[in-house]
């Protein structure tokens, strides 16, 4: 990454051993999907936190919705700093009209080439955040399709909400924090991308699709690894919360999950308990 020298072949071998990579298999390449529209200040924080990561094989895929606040110039500078740094860091980006957040996320996935996929629109809290999540996924054993961790929602320096779900089951209202979720690429290839007919809960509906099969498990890292900017698509006010809960209920029904209303109630209670900590 920027401000660090590239990893040598010898160091890469050591990193593979330390991260639990299986013998004889190349290190997993991680694609961080960044979607943005007229939020230059937040994007600068996101990209800065990515540059601090110690994981030696990261691809940054940025999809901008044709911002007019200087975002494309910021992205161009970021890409230029990392030109020729593959495999330690490579950048792919585009700035063009899209149909909203989930359309942009789907576009970013199609542009990506990593073995592990993560949506990264916030701040990675520690330089080893990517390393820890990849290591957890590698060491998760049979049925492990990725990893997730804790996160906090922030407004400036103020923590608004703490997301601590731990391990659990979809039927109990549990769900991982989407901004912390690092998934194997084959999950997207098997279960499909984000359904853009959902306005606020396409990420939840996507998780329902693969988590309803309890053979698919996520490894859990019990640390705050992501600081999320408060005011996103699903949490920008009461109306968006209500839309998100309704769409989540519809997502459960459409995917044939039993007792969707009860799960929605349990999920709501879990979310409400996260405020005021």
Residuewise pLDDT in 10s, the chain (277 residues) = 533 333 323 333 344 444 444 433 579 999 999 999 999 999 999 999 999 999 999 999 999 999 999 999 999 999 999 998 887 889 999 999 999 999 999 999 999 999 999 999 999 999 999 999 999 999 999 999 999 999 999 988 788 888 998 999 999 999 999 999 999 999 999 999 999 999 999 999 999 999 999 999 999 999 999 999 986 554 555 788 789 999 999 999 999 999 999 999 999 998 887 765 5
| Model pLDDT, residue 276 | 54
CATH number of the domain within which 31 lies: 3.90.550.10
Beta bridge partners of 21: none
Q: Is residue 32 part of a domain?
A: yes
Q: Is residue 191 part of a domain?
A: yes
Among 14, 19, 209, 251, CA closest to 115: 19
**Residue whose tokens read 């498990």:** 217
| Model pLDDT, residue 237 | 58
DSSP 190: H
| Main-chain phi, psi angles of 226, to 5 degrees | -135, 135
Q: Which domain holds residue 177?
A: 9-272
Q: Kindly report each contact of residues 126-131 with a partner whose C-beta sits within 8 Å and lies 24 or more positions away, as own/partner.
A: 126/223, 126/225, 127/52, 127/53, 127/54, 128/53, 128/54, 128/55, 129/53, 129/225, 129/226, 130/30, 130/32, 130/53, 130/54, 130/55, 130/58, 130/182, 131/19, 131/53, 131/54, 131/55
Q: How many independent structural domains does the chain possess?
A: 1
Q: Is residue 141 part of a domain?
A: yes
| Model pLDDT, residue 13 | 38
Q: Is residue 4 part of a domain?
A: no
Q: Is residue 2 part of a domain?
A: no
| Model pLDDT, residue 87 | 79
Distance CA 109, CA 119 (A): 9
Beta bridge partners of 275: 161
Q: Is residue 3 part of a domain?
A: no
pTM, two decimals, is: 0.88
DSSP secondary structure letters along 210-223: HHTSTTSEEEEEEE
């Amino acid at each position: 990454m920027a401000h660090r020298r590239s990893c040598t072949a010898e160091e890469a071998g050591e990193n593979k051993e330390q991260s639990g990579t299986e013998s004889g298999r190349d290190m997993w390449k991680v694609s961080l999907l960044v979607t943005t529209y007229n939020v230059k200040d937040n994007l600068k924080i996101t990209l800065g936190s990515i540059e601090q990561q110690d994981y030696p094989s990261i691809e940054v895929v940025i999809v901008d919705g044709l911002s007019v606040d200087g975002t494309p110039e910021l992205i161009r500078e970021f890409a230029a700093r990392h030109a020729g740094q593959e495999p330690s860091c490579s950048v792919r980006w585009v700035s063009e009209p899209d149909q909203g957040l989930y359309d942009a996320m789907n576009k970013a996935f199609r542009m990506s080439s990593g073995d592990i996929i993560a949506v990264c629109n916030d701040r990675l809290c520690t330089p080893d955040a990517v390393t820890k999540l990849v290591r957890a996924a590698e060491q998760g054993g049979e049925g492990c399709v990725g990893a997730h961790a804790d996160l906090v929602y922030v407004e400036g320096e103020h923590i608004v909400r703490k997301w601590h779900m731990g391990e659990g089951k979809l039927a109990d209202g549990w769900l991982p924090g989407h901004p912390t979720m690092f998934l194997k690429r084959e999950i997207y290839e098997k279960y499909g991308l984000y359904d853009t007919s959902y306005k606020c809960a396409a990420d939840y509906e996507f998780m329902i699709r693969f988590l309803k099969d309890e053979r698919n498990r996520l490894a859990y890292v019990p640390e705050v690894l992501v600081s999320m900017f408060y005011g996103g698509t699903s949490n920008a006010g009461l109306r968006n919360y209500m839309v998100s809960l309704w769409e989540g209920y519809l997502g459960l029904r459409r995917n044939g999950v039993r007792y969707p209303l009860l799960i929605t109630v349990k999920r709501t209670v879990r979310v409400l308990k996260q405020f005021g900590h």
